[in-house]
Structure 1
Amino acid sequence: MIATPRNAVVILLDSLNRHMLGAYGGTEFATPNLDAFARSAVRFDNHHTGSLPCMPARHDILCGALDFLWRPWGSVEIWEDAITYELHKAGVVSQLVSDHPHLFETGGENYHVDFTAWAYERGHEGDPWKTRPDPSWAGAPIFGRDHMPYHDSRGWFRDESDFPGPRTMTAAARWIEENAGWHDRFFLFID
């Protein structure tokens, strides 16, 4: 008999293909931390997504609705209950740690509201985190594209640990260190 897990940690890495991870046989990049995590976790070897990209995929995962063909982008509607709503009713603590700005902007509302708590690591993509570029940074070419908020934000990142992705994983690890032994059951969604 297999024991039912009491806790779940979901790591959603937007736009990362499984063939790039060592846990799935990838050799092009070193992914030692994710590989170690996969060795001690349940690894899905036959998973298919219903919707791509971005918000439709998150809607599939959190609401259990495969609706990309009729609803390509949108919020959790008031008549829908995300899995976090049901987990809350069952006494499971849920935490969202994300750097995904679309969860918090018009058109992506309500993904975080049923989590027990949530943390947002600022500065990714279209997140209007900074109102001006860092004057000490030379910048990067925008290749003819229109100005985006990320152009103002990315100059403030000095090394890898300043970028939203690494900050998100660090915040999630810190949440586990501070909370895993405190709660009887938890669901951690890292996005």
Structure 2
Amino acid sequence: VFRWTETNGGCSDFDEVTVTFYEPTVADAGPVTAEECDLNINLAGVQSIAGSTASWSTIAGNPADITFSSTTIFNPTVTSTAYSTYTFRLTETNGVCTSTDDITVTFTEQPVADAGTGGNVCGKDAGNPFTFTGVASAGTGIWTQQSGPGTSNIATPGSATSTVTVDTYGSYVFRWTETNGGCSDFDEVTVT
């Protein structure tokens, strides 16, 4: 509270004003970017000033796709109805002081690898190859040999239903790995 006093001879008068000095906020929405292998993310905003308030909004991407568990807490859960990229803004307010920080989140569909079933084959070369029975889901896939007594030749490694031959008889384990953005999954089959 500040007082302004005026004096003229023996006469005086005063008036008072109140000024509040607020500590500036430094909004922190957490990491600059994130990729989520589903449709939910827990945001990790940080309160920089005790007593400040939070407000979250969607500033890029379709806001109609997004639901916040609460827009007024620093670490809400965000749920999307679509696999896409969105930018969320945290506005931190302390009195008349505000600051903002953004986080860009990509919701990516998690692949669910299905290598099909393994089996037995009579032979080992191009005359009688084994045909994988994998089922592709999201993203791209690739076959790799994990174990076996010899070396394999996978005709089309990126195809879930590729054929494979080997140079030595025996039991082999093959892995079908699917990758979609930063999300991946694998499944294995045994072929003898």
Which has the larger helix fraction?
1
Please indicate the TM-score interval, normalised by the length of the shorter structure: under 0.3
Structure number with bigger Rg: 2
TM-score, scaled to structure 1: 0.21
Q: Which has the higher contact order (CA 8 A, sep 6+)?
A: 1
Please, what TM-score do these two structures have when normalized by structure 2?
0.21
